[in-house]
Structure 1
Amino acid sequence: MFRRKGSLIFCGAILFIAWNALLVLFLLGRGPSGQSGEGSRGVVERPTDDLVGEVIRIADAFEMELEKQREILIQVLKHRPLWEQKRGPTVKAPSQPVIPILVIACNRVTIRRCLDKLLEHRPSTELHPIVVSQDCGHAETAEVIRSYGDKITHLKQPDLSDIAVQPEHKKFQGYYKISRHYHWALSQVFQNISYSSVVIVEDDLEVAPDFFEYFRSLLPLLKSDPNLWCVSAWNDNGRDGFVDPGKAELLYRTDFFPGLGWMILRELWEELEPKWPSAFWDDWMRHPEQRRNRACIRPEISRTLTFGRQGVSLGQFYDKYLRYIKLNTEFVPFTKLDLSYLGEQVYREHFEKEVYGAPVVSYEDVKQGQLTGSGPFRLQYSSKDSFKVLAKNLGIMDDLKSGVPRTGYRGVVSFFSRGRRIYLAPPPGWTQYDPTWS
């Protein structure tokens, strides 16, 4: 398929150049009023001003189009090594699934920190190709990316134009461009390069030593469980002191889409791509229409850490929460562990038994450290307001998206407090989220 695709692109480029060359030759040989270059008496007539202007206009248009085609051909040539991995019997296919890493980049020269860690911890070039998709056209960032040579593939988003938005959304122009870039970059990975899965990170993320191991171990579960739609490396409440330091191997199902280092399958992209939003793509992913009651896997201790305070969100949550997220430093051999407990039925039954079998405690008991026993303990909320008050006072993230709390599973938020497991939970008998809780 890739050989045919490459041949078609190459032939198309040749035909385009040949056609435009013939057009230019025709125009240069054409006299006024459709006559040949010589008049009836063998005298070459001077072209009219209108004809000269028309030729110049067509030549300018031709030059612009040729430049566009040149850029496309450059992209094709950069894709070519990736296609070569997949085509023809002469290249031995990997015995294990290939999981590419897609790095979304713009204008941060500090992308070097992200790429250095990815390359440091990458166990296999063949199994984990790194594709950097750059928007913004920032020359200094592009130079940093180019400095890695053939260790990575560097793609450039071709459309850098401003996006027409309503006047009240002028300040959100960056969010529109990010959504456009995500759409383009994911289309390249899934449709043009034809990978079957991808892990997406942004240029301000540092990864843990077992980042690749984590995603490799969970790919089979993501493929086999129709009630999962992503795997994330991120715990929104993963600050030091709010996670169990002795449980680096502990994983959860969550109804909240975490992002910040996440894996999806091509089938999901084929579902989402036709309706991809013009802006605010991450909150759009959290709408019930997209989530469709599916869950993600997330870790107790994050496998990514964000170091990008500055961005389109202007550091929202960074100083209060994100800068304190604990990054895992212990390598967990996830591919050798039994992860069957994460299957929906088994997980739900065990989770609900543990949560609603735990003794109910008061906020004062938790806050003042007056709990007796090793836990876990249950702290109950009954409304949107009571959830937000408890979450804020306990130091965990209190915002909800379409009614789902960050890290929540069936309304329950799990976190550590003073060395004990706390479940902030709705009353027994919970059935569904209320989208008005936002």
Structure 2
Amino acid sequence: MANLFCDFRFLLLIAAVVFIYIQVESENHCTGQMRLLIDQISMQQGQIVAFEDERKRHFEERLQMKTLLQDLERKGLQQLTDKTQVPVAAVVIMACNRADYLDKTIKSVLKYQTPVASKYPVFVSQDGSNPDVKKKALSFDRLAYMQHLDYGEVETERPGELIAYYKIARHYKWALDQLFYIHKFSRVIILEDDMEIAPDFFSYFEAAAMLLDKDKTIMAVSSWNDNGQKQFVHDPYLLYRSDFFPGLGWMLTKSIWDELSPKWPKAYWDDWLRLKENHKGRQFIRPEVCRTYNFGEHGSSMGQFFKQYLEPIKLNDVQIDWMSMDLGYLMEDKYVKHFADAVKKAKPVYGNDAVMKAFNVAGDVRIEYRDQSDFEHIARQFGIFEEWKDGIPRTAYKGVVVFRHQTRRRIFLVGPDSLKRLGI
């Protein structure tokens, strides 16, 4: 009987152990299920938050479009464009958070745009929601307002990069898509919110538009000369072709934008345009004397080069009727010979002291450089831009950089294969 009782207790003990094991396993399973459920709930909550953010973004965009349409209806696009007059180009001023700069730029543009308003409807495109910028833009009746609201995260490709350059690239693509594809303009002139324009700015671009239509080897037309400082320019009537994209007040066509828009870069759009793979051997028209002046010491580039290169820029002050000028020499088939003749007539100067010798020559001077390092050394002595991009110096045409040197005399810095490329 005692043995039977012991066996019974042993069985109870085993049953208890099994029961406890089952309970523990059950609790572990429940805990695992609970954790899985919590994870699923957290994931769903994240999706709900993302959905709410997306919904908010779409709501803001719809509100933005509604505001834009109301603004256009209020002012009437007929005030910006004449139904009997096909616009030469829309003018867009790219803005963000500098209301005082924007005010100065708008006033400069409208000062010269008023007599040709039907040819050049003006838009302000604001990136972001700075209330002072929006208020300033809407205070002018003779322009239309657009607002780019972008809540997407910005992921830089390299550590330490400024997010601003990525936001700027997004804004440019959005604004140009709007003007070319929504408003159906055939050409757009892009200005920034820290620019003043010259008296003949619009006449210059009207004549240049005809060049763009005739010569498909011209990718864009710019109002800027990187070496346009007072000591390096003289002739306000002279225009050049360049393999280097100048930017800073430039015009492009819809056909060029059709090509660029699908592959537009995440950042540094201007340097991207300077890559050979993008301009594909096409060139840019630029003036000797700038038709825009950049007063923006404070901005995304934090005043880089402002004192040395931007502040001394000469803004043209001569009123020129460009439509009466013969610009045929800028067509590709004529320009190579036109430019080569000027280079050929320049007096060659050689040696390590070539820069010093150039001071003693009365007429145009030609100095050859061996490579990029040699070019930078010579450019530094004159004080012009030393920078290259993808093998091309700033302002260069077939490797030749030309500028005045404190007089009417021109200095031609000629690359190692430039004469061959010019047929000299």
Q: TM-score band, normalised by the shorter chain?
A: 0.7 to 0.9
Higher Cα Rg: structure 1 or 2? 2
C-alpha displacement at 1:81, in angstroms? 7.5
C-alpha displacement at 1:366, in angstroms? 3.8
Equivalent residue in structure 1 for 2:173, among 170, 183, 186: 183
Equivalent residue in structure 1 for 2:94, among 96, 99, 104: 104
Q: Corresponding residue for 1:152?
A: 143
**SS at structure 2 position matched to 1:319:** helix
Going by fraction, where is helix more abundant, 1 or 2?
A: 2
C-alpha displacement at 1:309, in angstroms? 1.0
The residue type paired with residue 217 of structure 2 is N
C-alpha displacement at 1:80, in angstroms? 5.0
Is the Cα contact below 8 Å between 2:371 and 2:416 reproduced in 1? Answer: no
Q: Corresponding residue for 1:426?
A: 415
Partner Cα distance (1:282, 1:404) in 2: 14
Cα deviations by residue, 1:311-345 (Å, 9 ceiling, x for unpaired): 12111111211111000011111111111111112
**SS at structure 2 position matched to 1:151:** coil
C-alpha displacement at 1:165, in angstroms? 2.7
- When residues 398 and 406 of structure 1 are mapped into structure 2, their CA distance, relative to the original with a 3 A threshold, is same
Partner Cα distance (1:275, 1:83) in 2: 34
Is 1:69 matched with 2:59?
no
Q: Corresponding residue for 2:154?
A: 163
- When residues 370 and 185 of structure 1 are mapped into structure 2, their CA distance, relative to the original with a 3 A threshold, is closer
Partner Cα distance (1:223, 1:322) in 2: 31
Q: Corresponding residue for 1:121?
A: 112
Partner Cα distance (1:71, 1:350) in 2: 50
Q: Corresponding residue for 2:281?
A: 293
The residue type paired with residue 173 of structure 2 is H
Q: Percent identity?
A: 38
Q: How does 1:40-59 map to 2 (within 5 A)?
A: none
- Consecutive unaligned residues of structure 2, counting only runs of 5 or more, are 1-44
C-alpha displacement at 1:139, in angstroms? 1.3
Equivalent residue in structure 1 for 2:215, among 225, 250, 255: 225
- When residues 286 and 429 of structure 1 are mapped into structure 2, their CA distance, relative to the original with a 3 A threshold, is closer
The residue type paired with residue 290 of structure 1 is N
- When residues 291 and 431 of structure 1 are mapped into structure 2, their CA distance, relative to the original with a 3 A threshold, is farther
TM-score by length of 1: 0.78
- Consecutive unaligned residues of structure 1, counting only runs of 5 or more, are 1-52, 433-438
C-alpha displacement at 1:384, in angstroms? 1.1
The residue type paired with residue 150 of structure 2 is D
**SS at structure 1 position matched to 2:161:** helix
Is 1:130 matched with 2:122?
yes
Q: Corresponding residue for 2:18?
A: none
Partner Cα distance (1:418, 1:191) in 2: 46
- When residues 298 and 386 of structure 1 are mapped into structure 2, their CA distance, relative to the original with a 3 A threshold, is same
**SS at structure 2 position matched to 1:248:** coil
- When residues 381 and 269 of structure 1 are mapped into structure 2, their CA distance, relative to the original with a 3 A threshold, is same
The residue type paired with residue 178 of structure 2 is Q
Partner Cα distance (2:379, 2:334) in 1: 28
Q: Corresponding residue for 2:298?
A: 310
TM-score by length of 2: 0.81
**SS at structure 2 position matched to 1:320:** helix
Cα deviations by residue, 1:347-370 (Å, 9 ceiling, x for unpaired): 111211221332211464544664
- When residues 139 and 428 of structure 1 are mapped into structure 2, their CA distance, relative to the original with a 3 A threshold, is same
Is the Cα contact below 8 Å between 2:245 and 2:273 reproduced in 1? Answer: yes
- When residues 182 and 61 of structure 1 are mapped into structure 2, their CA distance, relative to the original with a 3 A threshold, is closer
The residue type paired with residue 366 of structure 2 is R
C-alpha displacement at 1:75, in angstroms? 2.5
